[in-house]
Amino acid sequence: MTYFEGFVVPVPEANEGAYRKHSAEFAPVLQGVGVKRMVETWESDVPEGKLTDFRKAVDARPAEKIVFSWFEYPDRQARDAANAKMMSDPRMAEMGKDMPFDGKRMIMGGFDAIVDEGSAGGGYTDGWVVPVPTGKRDAYRELASKNAKFFREYGATRIVEAWGDDVSKGEVTDFFRAVKAEDGENVVFAFIEWPDKQTRDSAWEKVMKDERMQPQGEMPFNGKRMFWGGFEKILDTAQQQPAQQASAPVNA
């Protein structure tokens, strides 16, 4: 299955235009070193959680927004080869000199897909991060695979659940700290792609009423420490044109 490099990034709201510009310039460089697909999404509907949430995950400040993004590769070998090329590409160093966000608080990691249903596309994304006991990997995959079919039924274009494979611990933030991971737990990086926010909102109303998706028995993850949010897509290299809102003026 597809291999993902997942990111959560705090970006000053005033730098949105600069971030869009940076992403648009960065995309062809990444494609040149082997990134199959690059997607950037901007905070739209990100709730505050009691224990964890997207903002806490990156120590976001009041004037910052959250970017949820990912790179796609055929497998980890392709990801590792691309990263090696990035390290030796002088363009990467040059572009890294003036970043429109705080890289020290960005979290990232490599994830191997355990569920990948549907086709990439659409303008809106639901993203979430989940702590899962390593011994419950198969149970989690089974539940996620079953639910993915229901999301597709309600209009989702694609559902991905990816298991932590190369997730390092950072000095300031990381995926493990983001979900307050306990001993024996791994991290799942997941998302649903929707045609638009209207389809997504309508689908969730139906999901909440669908008896097939109601919790039954013990869940194979800790729901109190998972977090989620909705994001508007601002760049998708799989589409000929950037997704909705990408034509907004750039404040370089």
Domain boundaries, given as residue ranges, for the chain: 3-236
pLDDT of residue 94: 81
212-242 burial, b at 16+ Cβ within 10 Å, e below that, comes to ebeeeeeebbbeebbbbbbbbbbbbbebeeb
Mean pLDDT of the chain: 93
Place 170 in a pLDDT band, splitting at 50, 70 and 90: confident
Question: How much is the average pLDDT of 101-130?
Answer: 96
Q: For 187-212, what is each residue's pLDDT tens digit?
A: 999 999 999 999 999 999 999 999 99
Question: Which runs of E-coded beta strand occur in 98-184?
Answer: 107-118, 124-133, 158-166
Question: In 163-245, which residue ranges form alpha helices assigned H by DSSP?
Answer: 175-178, 197-209
Quote the tokens at residue 101: 């966000």
Q: What is the CATH number of domain 3-236?
A: 3.30.70.100
Place 245 in a pLDDT band, splitting at 50, 70 and 90: very low
Question: How much is the average pLDDT of 158-172?
Answer: 94
Main-chain phi, psi angles of 56, to 5 degrees: -65, -35
Q: Which of 246, 249, 250 is nearest to 233 (CA)?
A: 246
Q: Which of 239, 248, 245, 241 is nearest to 119 (CA)?
A: 239
DSSP 250: P
Q: With the C-alpha atoms ordered 144, 149, 155, 160, is the resulting torsion angle positive or negative?
A: positive
Q: With the C-alpha atoms ordered 86, 87, 90, 95, is the resulting torsion angle positive or negative?
A: positive
Question: How much is the average pLDDT of 78-103?
Answer: 90
